[in-house]
Amino acid sequence: METEARLLLTFHALPAAFCELVVPSLEQSEEKYALPLGLCMRILPARQADQHKLLLASVSTPEGELRASALCSAPHYLLVQSEPLCELALELLAKSLAEHGAVLPGVTGVMDASDCFARCWQAFTGAAAELEICQRAYALRKVNPVRKPVGTKQQALPEQAPLVLEWINAMSAETASGNQAAWTLEDVSACIQDGVFYLWCAGGEPAAMAFYNRPTRRSVAISGVYTAPEKRGQGFATALVAGMCAQALAEGREFITLFTDVENPVSNAVYQHVGFYPVCDYHQYRF
């Protein structure tokens, strides 16, 4: 029987060492863990965790078997993973962070792991844990035929960066999640330069946007799906997402991932119509 005394908690100063330990586990269930895996790919080039305000932790057995991991890039919430669920490992992680005076704005992750960590954090710190949002992770391997509305999918242009930023801020205001970092015009411009932002343009005007996010060796996520309020209900975002999925698959991705708000039945139905199928739920807690 596993006990806390047999578990080894490590805080990693080197992102490469953290990724070497956790990535193989995440890749075994990539549809479920595309979010932490994509973030690992993003931080891998970093030389030192503290240079990028990263908190990287793992809990393993003496034999090197991973029991849980945690990743946080300030000011985002702590992202926890434990597969299969090891409550002792998450308890050890929460206890150590609390004893070291860590200030966590919240936690997110696959629901059994995030639920467990939130309970432990509450017990060790006395901080209230408010369930902020329930998200559903989806994956797609084949695009269904969808009705094509007026307009075309176009890569965002540098001069459209102010509009994209305006829409990002509008979307953030609508979702009202605490687990978001503020974008700058420079951030948006850099992403447009990288070719990840796409728009659906109808009648010569942008109507909807989305962008590719968190690429891995096998998959890529689609994020930031937004339609201008006055242009909603015409299928622009649906066509844009379908087109971006088809493009990514044609370029060699095995599958596409995407998150939705569980409490938004419209978006859940739309994405399933495109070809996405539900994988698991993530719970996000604010402390």
Whole-number Å distance between alpha carbons of 71 and 39: 9
- Least Cα distance to 224 among 236, 237, 238, 209 occurs for 209
Domain boundaries, the chain: 4-127, 140-280
Query: What pLDDT does residue 13 have?
Result: 93
For 242-281, write each residue's pLDDT tens digit. Answer: 999 999 999 999 999 999 999 999 999 999 999 999 999 9
Query: What pLDDT does residue 98 have?
Result: 97
- For 37, phi and psi rounded to 5 degrees? -65, -45
For 201-225, write each residue's pLDDT tens digit. Answer: 999 999 999 999 999 999 999 999 9
Q: Please, are residues 118 and 94 in contact by the beta-carbon 8 Å criterion?
A: no
CATH class of 140-280: alpha beta
For 62-101, write each residue's pLDDT tens digit. Answer: 999 999 999 998 889 999 999 999 999 999 999 999 999 9
Taking residue 255's Cβ as centre, other Cβ atoms within 10 Å add up to 20
Correct CATH for 4-127 of 3.30.1330, 1.10.3470, 2.20.110, 3.40.630: 3.40.630
Q: Please, are residues 84 and 25 in contact by the beta-carbon 8 Å criterion?
A: no
Q: Do domains 4-127 and 140-280 have the same CATH topology?
A: yes
In this structure, which amino acid lies at residue 63? Answer: E
Query: What pLDDT does residue 55 have?
Result: 95
- Strands 152-155 and 197-202, sheet pairing: antiparallel
Q: Please, are residues 109 and 234 in contact by the beta-carbon 8 Å criterion?
A: no
Residues 176-184: what's their mean pLDDT?
A: 76
Whole-number Å distance between alpha carbons of 77 and 94: 14
pLDDT confidence band for 180 (50 / 70 / 90): confident
Residue 240, token pair as written in the block: 């844009």
Whole-number Å distance between alpha carbons of 270 and 238: 7
SS (H, E, C) the chain: CCCHHHCEEEECCCHHHHHHHHHHHHHHCHHHHHHHHHHHHHHCCCCCCHHHCEEEEEEECCCCCEEEEEEEECCCCEEEECCCCCHHHHHHHHHHHHHCCCCCCEEEEEHHHHHHHHHHHHHHHCCCCEEEEEEEEEEECCCCCCCCCCCEEEECCHHHHHHHHHHHHHHHHHHCCCCCCCCCHHHHHHHHHHCCEEEEEECCEEEEEEEEECCCCCEEEEEEEEECHHHCCCCHHHHHHHHHHHHHHHCCCCEEEEEEECCCHHHHHHHHHHCCEEEEEEEEEEC
Whole-prediction pTM? 0.93
Residue 185, token pair as written in the block: 């015009």
